[in-house]
């Protein structure tokens, strides 16, 4: 009991001393006696803030996910805004969505060129295949090399354009259609060349040719088709 009384008296005495200290002395006193508690609180606040930011950044609905492959410029370049403003946000405005809760994602982190960058190509291939099988990617924008990566002798990973677009639309943009040829000689339309489209030029795409295709297992087919229409007809 006496120990508890002594402790209370010590605390009371320390409180009395604290009241008589100047402002600067109080700061020094707190730093000297409570620095571990303050550090713990700061660390806790940082952790809570990091969790909050992470939650906020992930707490949105992906309206469309486009993987951009073999585009020489990276999302880390200073001109990232051109991709966001032109390829993402312009379509978000077209759809009438806010770009915060509902977003169009343009992911320019992929390279499929084993001669140029083998390590990055392995990483990209594994990431893309995993996301495709998880139905996470809707659209591919890439060159002939990346397009061929997803085409086989008798099948492709993409929708054949004449299966999803009407005849009038295909005829209107006939000169932009790109075909894949199967081993038996059958030609199937799998992509549009959007390199000459005003939005591609405005965005500063360097992938050449700039081919756009829709993956056959997309869960957002209507939006993917609308995106292609938007790029081809936004002159």
What would the pLDDT profile of 195-233 be if each residue is shown by its tens digit?
A: 999 988 888 888 899 999 999 999 999 999 999 999 998
Q: Can you give the pTM of this predicted structure?
A: 0.72
**Is omega for the bond preceding 152 within 30 degrees of 0, making it cis?**
no
Looking at residue 46, its pLDDT comes to 63
| CA dihedral angle for residue 92, residue 128, residue 214, residue 55, rounded to 10 degrees | -30
Q: How far apart are CA 108 and CA 141, in angstroms?
A: 9
Gyration radius of the chain over CA positions:
29
Structure tokens of 17?
A: 């001393």
**Which parts of the chain register pLDDT below 50?**
1-5, 7-8, 10-12, 15, 52, 55-56, 75-76
Whole-Å CA distances, 219 to 18, 20, 138, 156 = 65, 69, 7, 17
Query: If you write DSSP's letter for every residue of 176-193 in order, what string do you get?
Result: GEEEEE-TTS-EEEEEEE
Domains of the chain: 2-57 (no CATH), 62-233 (3.40.190.10)
Structure tokens at 233: 């007809």
In which region does residue 2 sit, left (phi positive, over 0), alpha (psi from -120 to 50) or beta (all else)? alpha
Q: DSSP letter at 22?
A: -
């Amino acid at each position: 009991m006496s120990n508890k009384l002594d402790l209370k008296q010590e605390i009371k005495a320390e409180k009395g001393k604290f009241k008589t200290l100047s402002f600067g002395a109080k700061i020094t006193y707190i730093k000297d006696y409570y620095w571990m508690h303050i550090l713990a609180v700061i660390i806790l606040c940082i952790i809570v803030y990091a969790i909050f930011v992470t939650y906020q950044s992930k707490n949105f609905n992906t309206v469309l996910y486009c993987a951009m492959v073999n585009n020489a410029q990276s999302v880390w370049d200073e001109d990232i805004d051109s991709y966001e403003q032109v390829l993402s946000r312009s379509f978000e405005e077209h759809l009438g969505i806010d770009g915060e809760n509902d977003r169009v994602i343009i992911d320019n982190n992929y390279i499929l060129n084993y001669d140029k960058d083998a390590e990055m190509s392995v990483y990209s291939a594994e990431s893309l295949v995993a996301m495709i099988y998880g139905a996470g990617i809707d659209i591919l924008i890439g060159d002939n090399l990346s397009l061929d990566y997803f085409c086989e002798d008798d099948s492709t990973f993409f929708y054949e354009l004449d299966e999803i677009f009407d005849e009038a639309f295909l005829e209107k943009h006939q000169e932009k259609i790109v075909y894949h040829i199967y081993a038996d000689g059958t030609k199937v339309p799998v992509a549009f060349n959007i390199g000459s489209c005003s939005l591609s030029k405005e965005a500063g795409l360097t992938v050449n040719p700039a081919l756009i295709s829709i993956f056959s297992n997309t869960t957002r087919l209507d939006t993917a088709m609308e995106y292609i229409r938007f790029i081809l007809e936004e002159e």
